[in-house]
């Protein structure tokens, strides 16, 4: 630890380095023209205004540099005011350039020169690293700043032979690790190579994509990978999503360190050894906005929200990195449907963990990308002077206390769109050409040296986009966090179980609105990743047809605070719910809560879990709308329900639960996943349908028949969840009988300053604790008298947010015919494998993944080589096979 803090003290000296100054007059004519053209393109006001602003900014640069070296030249230029013209503006820009580039401490930069991804929705945040959006023509270069030119190309040796993702320099600046898909290879893999030359060494292989690598202090790598074999719930199976994993320096011993069911991106190792990354997830929330920053240790322990897990703004905060010598973090705010439509921002989590606290917009003229302009945005700098002609930025990287490198592009003649999500965004049209990412010269981004005052100096212009730029110099090795995870190795046999972890809370009531003493049980739910997809991509059409049959205009009665989104909406492929694009869930069990509010429980490792607090009748008081996990052997605590503080005061006396061994979860439902037809309809048939049927003329039919042939949704399911919709009748979140969460509704919360769809839902607002159906049956409804077991099943189904299908239903569906699948060339051409339903693989993220290099390798096979089911159910018991 002492060495770590000594390293922090020495950091400024380590980063200072030496650098040759760039002399404008010595540059080539082409370089001079590029720089001067860029100055004119940045000009976004009359020259008198521009020149006045440049004088002020140059003086601020001199102040922060602590030098008076440039004062005389600044005064000489100022004498020309108020008369100003293009010539004076250029002179001022050239002097400012000299000031910006003086003493930066490096003269060479590692970067990636790359085209944009291609293909259907190729610039979507979940598609840019997929094998069939790969755009060949990328290269990894070393740029020489003094000459404004390429020093050398490291990779590939043959032009236009590789699609390249992220490249990252080692701490000693002697090697790089990068992701690439070479021609002749099916997918993105990890490589490492020496800076001074030599052939790259391929670290990973197979039909999965490995991307976004970063060096770990122990010599290994953190990266993102699609080895989880799961697909995007709100898109199609062409979205091969990637989550965090780690491996040794030779690419061996691959283990997942994330249980996310959507995607992780852009991991960065902080000085204290934690990994900071962007995570997209939605547990009973809307599909669009919940991208937030998280931290995790390199061994997968201590997964924590860093900032924004209940925030609508910004859109996708990613590529976040520490600003040296500060408690601030620079990030890019990308667009969900176009990762290259990005602004910039700064976070200071010590000031708050959700919008509008602790966040500052560095590019206010761009809003927050697809999320639009927020209701309470704060610019970082009141004197900020960035040109409003910049339309997008990408991969910012701090290079000191005051400077950063960033890729930027101009808007040209096009207006910049700052409004929120619209149908144009969904189609990838982005509303304006300034926001689009196309492989044409005018849309490519160049490399800038920037500061937090809005000054940007062009330092390199490549053949295409210049991304992932970083100084070619050594940097501080972060603190090495010791491993505490029990790594179980390969999964040796069917149904093998990895070591458990332990979770505890000293007080589940802390930081909540829950009445102390009211919660009697904690329920643990697994939110399972969809390793299946039907390949039909029809959920949107199914949803629209159902709305039409119900006589409901989907554009009117369900509008939320954001007028472009509905209170429920489907856009995915495998339809699991009418409320949102969903995967199956499983109740892992329950445990009692002590009288002081403490809990201490064992939970399975590497499962995406969330919690519910139940009252004495096992009705939900509060539900968590995010997931977490524990590693094997990990023991971790948490704050009260839905805490958003960075720290919590220690309990005044030892918690009762912690004076006992950790409790084992009581599993009352087995492994079942609560499909409606399998679990709920038999109860309705037994107690309700004799009255609630169409033949009897009852308005609320609870029959099992389909509403329309084009959809599997039953009349009973739709009536319970949506509440007997009628033409022209407006709906509110409590119209349904079941009590479901409407993920696109902003539930009012007195503890939240700006309520959005992502905010915490107050206790006793939704699910079984607020269910009209449960209340009606408890009070007595006609002669319907469900048993205690039946009521438990009803409440549990409601508390999983009313799923229509479960995993058991998926396993009864046939796999799509691969010939039919690949006939859809627009979406599926170039993908490494077709998705499965009946034979969907079981992916246990606890175990080592080295032997799994494809979907096929995860499935058992018949003697003739045909894939066999990996998962089957015997009653309520789930059984898996790996060979």
Label the pairing between strands 221-225 and 210-215.
antiparallel
- pLDDT of res. 298: 99
Structure tokens at 521: 């049980």
Whole-model pTM over 0.85: yes
Q: Which residues of the chain have pLDDT under 50?
A: 1-17, 423-431, 556-565, 643-649
DSSP-assigned beta bridge partners for residue 458: 448
DSSP states of 745-782: S----TT-SS--TTSPPPTTSSGGGG-HHHHHHHH-BT
Distance CA 267, CA 244 (A): 8
- Choose which CATH entry (3.40.50.150, 2.120.10.30, 2.40.50.140, 2.10.25.10) describes domain 103-471: 2.120.10.30
Peptide bond before residue 82 is cis, with ω within 30 degrees of 0: yes
CA dist., res. 329 & res. 443, Å (int): 27
825: which DSSP letter? H
In the chain, where the domains are located? 22-100, 103-471, 676-802
Residue-level pLDDT at 496: 85
Q: Residue 460: name the closest of 407, 396, 402 by CA.
A: 407
Sign of CA dihedral 250, 219, 487, 844: negative
């Amino acid at each position: 630890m002492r060495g770590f803090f000594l390293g922090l003290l020495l950091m400024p000296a380590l980063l200072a380095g030496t650098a040759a100054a760039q002399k404008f007059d010595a540059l080539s004519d082409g370089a001079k023209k590029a720089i001067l053209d860029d100055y004119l393109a940045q000009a976004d006001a009359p020259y008198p205004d521009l020149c006045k602003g440049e004088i002020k900014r140059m003086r601020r640069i001199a102040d922060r540099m602590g030098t008076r070296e440039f004062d005389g030249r600044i005064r000489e230029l100022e004498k020309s005011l108020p008369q100003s013209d293009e010539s004076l503006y250029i002179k001022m820009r050239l002097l400012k350039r000299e000031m910006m580039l003086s003493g930066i401490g490096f003269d060479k930069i590692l970067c990636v020169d790359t085209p944009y991804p291609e293909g259907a929705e190729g610039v979507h945040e979940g598609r840019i690293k997929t094998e069939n959006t790969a755009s060949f023509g990328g290269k990894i270069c070393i740029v020489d700043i003094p000459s404004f030119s390429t020093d050398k190309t490291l990779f590939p040796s043959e032009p236009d032979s590789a699609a390249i993702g992220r490249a990252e320099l080692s701490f000693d600046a002697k090697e790089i690790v990068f992701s690439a898909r070479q021609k002749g290879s099916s997918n993105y893999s990890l490589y490492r190579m020496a800076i001074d030359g030599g052939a790259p060494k391929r670290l990973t292989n197979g039909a999965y994509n490995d991307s976004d690598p970063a060096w770990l202090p122990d010599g290994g790598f953190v990266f993102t990978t699609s080895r989880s074999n799961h697909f995007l719930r709100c898109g199609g199976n062409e979205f091969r999503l990637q989550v965090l994993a780690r491996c040794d320096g030779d690419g061996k011993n691959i283990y997942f360190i994330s249980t996310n069911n959507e995607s992780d991106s852009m991991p960065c190792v902080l000085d204290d050894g934690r990994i900071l990354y962007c995570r997209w997830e939605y547990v009973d929330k809307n599909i669009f906005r919940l991208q937030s920053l998280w931290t995790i240790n390199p061994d997968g322990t201590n997964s924590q929200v860093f900032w924004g897990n209940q925030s609508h703004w910004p859109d996708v905060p990613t590529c976040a990195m520490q600003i040296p010598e500060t408690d601030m973090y620079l990030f890019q705010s990308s667009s969900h449907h176009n990762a290259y439509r990005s602004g910039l921002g700064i976070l200071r989590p010590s000031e708050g963990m959700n919008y509008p606290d602790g966040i500052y917009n560095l590019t206010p003229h761009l809003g927050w990308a697809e999320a639009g302009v927020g209701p309470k945005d704060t610019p970082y700098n009141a004197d900020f002077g960035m040109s409003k002609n910049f339309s997008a930025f990408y991969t910012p990287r701090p290079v000191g206390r005051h400077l950063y490198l960033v890729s930027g592009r101009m808007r040209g003649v096009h207006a910049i769109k700052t409004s929120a999500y619209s149908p144009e965004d969904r189609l990838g049209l982005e509303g304006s050409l300034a926001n689009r990412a196309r492989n044409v010269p005018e849309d490519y981004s160049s490399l800038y040296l920037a500061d937090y005052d809005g000054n940007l100096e062009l330092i390199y212009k490549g053949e295409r986009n210049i991304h992932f730029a970083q100084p070619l110099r050594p940097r501080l090795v972060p603190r090495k966090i010791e491993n505490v995870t029990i790594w179980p190795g390969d999964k040796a046999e069917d149904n093998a179980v990895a070591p458990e972890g332990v979770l505890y809370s000293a007080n589940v009531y802390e930081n909540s609105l829950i009445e102390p003493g009211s919660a009697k049980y904690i329920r643990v739910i697994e939110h399972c990743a969809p390793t299946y997809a039907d390949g039909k991509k029809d959920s949107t059409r199914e949803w629209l047809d159902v709305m039409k049959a119900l006589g409901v205009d989907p554009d009117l009665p369900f509008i939320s605070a954001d007028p472009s989104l509905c209170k429920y909406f489907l856009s995915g492929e495998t339809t699991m719910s009418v409320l949102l694009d969903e995967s199956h869930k499983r109740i892992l069990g329950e445990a009692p809560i002590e009288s002081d509010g403490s809990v201490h429980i064992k939970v399975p490792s590497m499962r995406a879990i969330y919690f519910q607090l139940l009252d004495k009748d096992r009705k939900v008081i509060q539900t968590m709308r995010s997931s977490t996990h524990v590693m094997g052997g990990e023991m971790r605590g948490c704050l009260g329900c839905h805490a958003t503080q960075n720290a919590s005061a220690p309990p005044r006396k030892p918690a009762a639960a912690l004076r006992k061994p950790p409790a084992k979860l009581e599993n009352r439902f087995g492994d079942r996943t609560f499909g409606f037809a399998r679990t709920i309809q038999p109860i309705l048939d037994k107690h309700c349908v004799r009255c609630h049927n169409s033949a009897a003329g009852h308005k609320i039919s609870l029959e099992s028949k389909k509403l329309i042939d084009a959809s599997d949704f039953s009349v009973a399911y739709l009536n319970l969840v949506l509440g007997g919709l009628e033409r022209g009748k407006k709906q509110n979140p409590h119209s349904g009988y079941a009590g479901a969460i409407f993920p696109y509704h902003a539930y009012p919360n007195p503890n939240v300053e700006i309520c959005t769809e992502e905010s915490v839902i107050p206790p006793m607002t939704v699910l079984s604790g607020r269910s009209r159906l449960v209340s009606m049956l408890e009070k007595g409804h006609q002669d319907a008298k469900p048993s205690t077991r039946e009521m438990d099943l009803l409440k549990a189904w409601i508390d999983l947010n009313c799923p229509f299908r479960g995993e058991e239903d998926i396993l009864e569906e046939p796999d799509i015919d691969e010939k039919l699948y690949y006939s859809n060339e627009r979406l599926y051409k170039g993908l490494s494998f077709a998705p499965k339903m009946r034979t969907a693989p079981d992916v246990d993220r606890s175990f080592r993944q080295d032997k799994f290099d494809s979907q096929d390798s995860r499935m058992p096979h018949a003697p003739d080589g045909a894939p066999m089911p990996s998962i089957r159910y015997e009653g309520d018991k789930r059984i898996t096979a790996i060979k």
